[in-house]
């Protein structure tokens, strides 16, 4: 799966288009594409905040240095490349189950990157196939340091960086920190630049699933070569989303083209069960699910055992 997608995507991320990448608009798509007015407003506020942060970084870096960073990343892609895609292929084919991606997070703002690394190691010992680290300043004051520390602790386990991705420099920074991929390329946010952002991710060897919220986005992105899709990662399905049925078994997963790869964020066991029944290749066990389990007295190993049980059953 990853070989064909990387081939088509890499051509799109060629040198001629590399320097035309621009920061995403605060809100993208048509009016009927947004989940709800309140959620759209919240998303706009978040993306405007992120845009200011990225713009400040770009100004400090300068155009010449930016072009050098982008060029260097494409000339020296991550090796091995597409680690999550390859893991999905191996796990679904050899074990017949979904890849379990666990979100690791700081218990408190005072948690250090080294302490977060120990949490990541515990998650792997409890059965996580891959990990996800939040980089946004709303979640951590040391995003890239957190990512680097977790990557070093995880060793051969793929680590994904989760952020609001609006500029290719963020992809480069994630790659340089050792990430296997990124979560946060969102059709609603990146608008017409979504496919290009995804292509750049592939060009530097990262898995960069595009988060979609309706069938129209799936169809349009499929036409331009996107093969890895995310659902319910940052743009939640708890709101009324046009084009997505209340039952995931009859929703977006059924709209994905043949051969596409999918990762679905889940907040409880029922969501995990339905997502896998509908064909999800990977499940992101979100922090809300982990926190809810902890409130019930369940440790992470028990939770992940339950996830495997409900998603590997015959029913």
Q: Mark residue 217 as left, alpha or beta (left: phi above 0; alpha: psi -120 to 50; beta: remaining).
A: alpha
Q: How many CB atoms lie within 10 A of CB 163?
A: 25
In this predicted structure, the answer to whether residue 240 has a pLDDT above a threshold of 80 is: no
Using DSSP's 3-state secondary structure scheme, residue 74 falls into: helix
Domain annotation covers residue 148: yes
Residue 236 pLDDT: 59
Contact between residue 260 and residue 88 where contact means Cβ atoms under 8 Å apart: no
Per-residue tokens: 62: 């300068």
| Mean confidence (pLDDT) of the chain | 85
The residues that bridge with 285 in the sheet, in sequence order, are 102, 266
User: What is the pLDDT, as a whole number, of residue 10?
Assistant: 40
**CA-based R_g, the chain, Å:** 18
Instruction: Describe the chain by its helix, strand, coil percentages, rounded to 5.
Output: 50, 10, 35
Find the range with the poorest average confidence among 4-8, 138-142, 288-292. 4-8
d(CA 46, CA 40): 10
Sign of CA dihedral 229, 234, 236, 242: negative
Q: Judge contact between 164 and 45, C-beta under 8 A.
A: no
Judge whether 112 lies within some domain.
yes
Residue at 294 is within a domain: yes
What is the structure's pLDDT at 244?
40
Q: Does residue 88 fall inside a structural domain?
A: yes
- Mean pLDDT, to the nearest integer, of 115-137? 97
Q: Looking at residue 125, which CATH number applies to its domain?
A: 3.20.20.70
Q: What pLDDT is attached to residue 234?
A: 86
* Per-residue pLDDT at 37: 58
Q: For residue 314, what pLDDT is reported? A: 55
Range of the domain at 125: 84-310
Cβ atoms of residues 100 and 278 within 8 Å: no
Sign of the torsion angle spanned by Cα atoms 241, 245, 246, 248? negative
How much is the average pLDDT of 292-315?
91
State the Cα–Cα distance between residues 11 and 49, nearest whole angstrom. Answer: 32
Task: Tally the C-alpha atoms within 13 A of residue 309's C-alpha that lie toward its C-beta.
Answer: 7
- The region, left, alpha or beta by phi > 0 then psi within -120 to 50, assigned to residue 96 is left
Q: Count the domains in the chain.
A: 1
> What does the pLDDT read at residue 313?
66
Whether 221 is in a domain gets the answer yes
pLDDT for residue 269 is more than 60: yes
> Does some domain include residue 166?
yes
Summarised one tens digit per residue, pLDDT across range 183-193 is 999 998 988 89
Give the pLDDT score at 172. 98
Which pLDDT score is estimated for 103? 97
Q: Which of 45-49, 67-71, 134-138, 246-250 has the lowest mean pLDDT?
A: 246-250
Is the pLDDT at 15 greater than 80? The verdict is: no
Q: So what's the pLDDT on residue 225?
A: 93
Tens-place pLDDT, residues 42-55: 888 999 999 999 99
Residue 38: per-residue pLDDT: 58
For the chain, what's the residue count? 315
With tokens 């991320």, the residue in question is 13
The pLDDT value recorded for residue 85 is 97
Q: What is the pLDDT of residue 252?
A: 87
Rounded Cα distance between 5 and 295, Å, is: 41
Is residue 64, in this structure, part of any structural domain at all?
A: no
Residue 7 pLDDT class (50, 70, 90 cuts) = very low
Cα–Cα distance between 302 and 305 in angstroms, integer?
Answer: 5
Q: Phi and psi of 5, rounded to 5°?
A: -70, -40
β-pair type (159-162, 130-134)? parallel
Q: Is residue 69 part of a domain?
A: no
Residue 38, CA distances (Å) to 29, 41, 239 in order: 16, 5, 10
User: Who wins on pLDDT, 24 or 85?
Assistant: 85
């Amino acid at each position: 799966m990853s070989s064909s997608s990387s081939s088509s995507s890499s051509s799109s991320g060629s040198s001629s288009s590399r320097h035309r990448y621009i920061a995403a608009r605060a809100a993208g798509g048509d009016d009927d594409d947004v989940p709800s007015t309140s959620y759209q407003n919240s998303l706009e506020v978040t993306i405007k905040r992120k845009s200011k942060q990225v713009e400040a970084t770009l100004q400090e870096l300068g155009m010449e240095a930016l072009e050098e960073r982008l060029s260097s990343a494409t000339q020296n892609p991550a090796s091995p490349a597409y680690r999550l895609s390859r893991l999905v292929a191996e796990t679904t084919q050899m074990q017949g189950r979904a890849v379990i991606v666990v979100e690791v997070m700081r218990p408190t703002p005072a948690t250090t990157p080294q302490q977060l690394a120990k949490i990541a190691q515990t998650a792997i010992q409890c059965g996580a196939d891959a990990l996800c680290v939040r980089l946004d300043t709303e979640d951590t004051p040391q995003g890239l340091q957190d990512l680097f520390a977790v990557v070093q602790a995880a060793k051969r386990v793929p680590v994904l960086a989760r952020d609001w991705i609006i500029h290719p420099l963020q992809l480069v920074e994630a790659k340089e920190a050792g990430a296997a991929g990124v979560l946060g390329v969102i059709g609603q946010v990146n608008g017409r630049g979504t496919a290009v952002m995804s292509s750049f991710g592939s060009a530097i060897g990262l898995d960069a699933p595009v988060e979609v919220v309706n069938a129209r986005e799936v169809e349009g992105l499929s036409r331009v070569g996107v093969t890895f899709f995310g659902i319910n990662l940052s743009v939640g399905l708890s709101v009324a989303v046009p084009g997505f049925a209340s039952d995931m078994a009859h929703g977006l997963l059924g709209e994905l083209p043949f051969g596409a790869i999918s990762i679905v964020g889940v907040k409880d066991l029922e969501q995990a069960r339905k997502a896998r029944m509908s064909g999800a290749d990977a499940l992101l066990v979100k922090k809300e699910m982990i926190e809810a389990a902890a409130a019930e007295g369940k440790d992470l190993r028990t939770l992940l055992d339950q996830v495997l049980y409900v998603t590997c059953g015959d029913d």
